[in-house]
Structure 1
Amino acid sequence: MMKTQQITRIPLAPVRSHVLNRFQSLVLISLILVLVLTIASFGELSQRSDETFSDPGSVQRPIRAVVFPPSSADGVAPDPRESARPADATPGAGLTGGSGLTYVGRKVCGECHRENFDAHAQHGHASTFFEVADTDLPQIFAGETFDGGPQYGVYSYQRDAEGNLLAKLDVPDPPEPLMLQYALGSGFNAQTFLTLQATPNGETSAIEHRVSCYAGDRLGLTVGHEEKTPASAAERFGSPLQGEVLERCIYCHTTTATVRQGHIANLTPNVDCEKCHGPGGEHVRLARLSPKPAPYSVGMETWDRESELQLCGDCHRLPRSISKLELRDYPDTLVRFQPVGMLRSKCYLKSEQSLRCTTCHSPHVSHHGPDETSRQIKNCIQCHDQTQSSHVICPVSPQTDCIDCHMPAIDQKQGIKFHDHWIRVRD
Structure 2
Amino acid sequence: MGPASAWWSVTVGMLLQAVTGPAGQTWSPERFWQQRSGYAGSESCRGCHSGIYEKQEASSHARTLRPLSEVAEFKTGLPFELLDRVGNAGLRLSLDPSGSVLLSSVRGGEETSVSLRWAFGAGAKAVTPVTVNDRGDYVESRVSWFRGTGAFDLTPGARERVPGSFAETLGQVLSHEDRKKCFGCHTSRPMADDPVPARNEMGIRCERCHGPGLEHVRAASADSRRSSIFHPRDLTGFRMAQVCGACHGRPPREIDFDEIRQIQERPLAARFPSQRLVLSRCFNETDGGLKCTVCHDPHDDVASSPEALDTPCRTCHSPGRNSAAICPKASSNCSRCHMPKARVLHHTEFADHWIRAKP
TM-score, normalised with respect to structure 2: 0.80
Answering whether residue 215 of structure 2 is matched by residue 279 of structure 1, we say: no
Partner letter of residue 101 of structure 2?
Answer: L
User: What aligned pairs does 1:89-168 form with structure 2 within 5 A after superposition?
Assistant: 96-97=34-35, 101-136=37-72, 139-140=75-76, 142-168=78-104
Equivalent-residue separation in structure 1 for 2:86 and 2:270 (angstroms): 31
Matched with 1:220 is 153
Equivalent-residue separation in structure 2 for 1:335 and 1:299 (angstroms): 24
Q: Deviations over 1:359-417 (max 9, x none)?
A: 11110121145xx32122110111222212333222322x2231111101112344321
C-alpha change, 1:209 and 1:325, in structure 2 (3 Å) is: farther
Equivalent-residue separation in structure 2 for 1:375 and 1:217 (angstroms): 26
Matched with 2:289 is 354
User: What aligned pairs does 1:194-213 form with structure 2 within 5 A after superposition?
Assistant: 194-197=130-133, 205-213=137-145
**Shift of residue 96 of structure 1?**
3.0
C-alpha change, 1:152 and 1:104, in structure 2 (3 Å) is: farther
Whether contact under 8 Å (2:238, 2:278) holds in the other structure is no
C-alpha change, 1:299 and 1:375, in structure 2 (3 Å) is: closer
Q: Identity over aligned residues, as a percent?
A: 26
Equivalent-residue separation in structure 1 for 2:309 and 2:71 (angstroms): 33
2:177 is paired with a residue of what secondary structure? Answer: helix
1:254 is paired with a residue of what secondary structure? Answer: coil
Matched with 2:353 is 421
Q: Deviations over 1:112-134 (max 9, x none)?
A: 11221122133210101112234
C-alpha change, 1:170 and 1:141, in structure 2 (3 Å) is: farther
Question: Which of 296, 301, 306 lines up with 2:238 in the alignment?
Answer: 306
Matched with 1:34 is none
C-alpha change, 1:196 and 1:137, in structure 2 (3 Å) is: farther
Whether contact under 8 Å (1:128, 1:184) holds in the other structure is yes
Matched with 2:165 is 232
Equivalent-residue separation in structure 2 for 1:218 and 1:299 (angstroms): 37
Question: Highest Rg: 1 or 2?
Answer: 1
Answering whether residue 121 of structure 2 is matched by residue 188 of structure 1, we say: no
Whether contact under 8 Å (2:41, 2:207) holds in the other structure is yes
Structure with the larger RCO, 1 or 2 (CA within 8 Å, 6+ apart): 2
**Shift of residue 295 of structure 1?**
4.3
1:347 is paired with a residue of what secondary structure? Answer: helix
Partner letter of residue 355 of structure 1?
Answer: L
Equivalent-residue separation in structure 2 for 1:293 and 1:95 (angstroms): 20
Matched with 2:269 is 334
Equivalent-residue separation in structure 2 for 1:306 and 1:328 (angstroms): 15
Whether contact under 8 Å (2:117, 2:132) holds in the other structure is yes
Answering whether residue 113 of structure 2 is matched by residue 177 of structure 1, we say: yes
Partner letter of residue 151 of structure 1?
Answer: G
Matched with 1:252 is 185
Whether contact under 8 Å (1:94, 1:251) holds in the other structure is no
Equivalent-residue separation in structure 2 for 1:183 and 1:232 (angstroms): 24
**Shift of residue 303 of structure 1?**
3.1
Whether contact under 8 Å (1:138, 1:163) holds in the other structure is no
Equivalent-residue separation in structure 1 for 2:239 and 2:275 (angstroms): 15
- Which segments of 5 or more consecutive residues in structure 2 lack a partner in the other structure? 1-29
Q: Deviations over 1:317-358 (max 9, x none)?
A: 124499849716624421110011111111111112311111
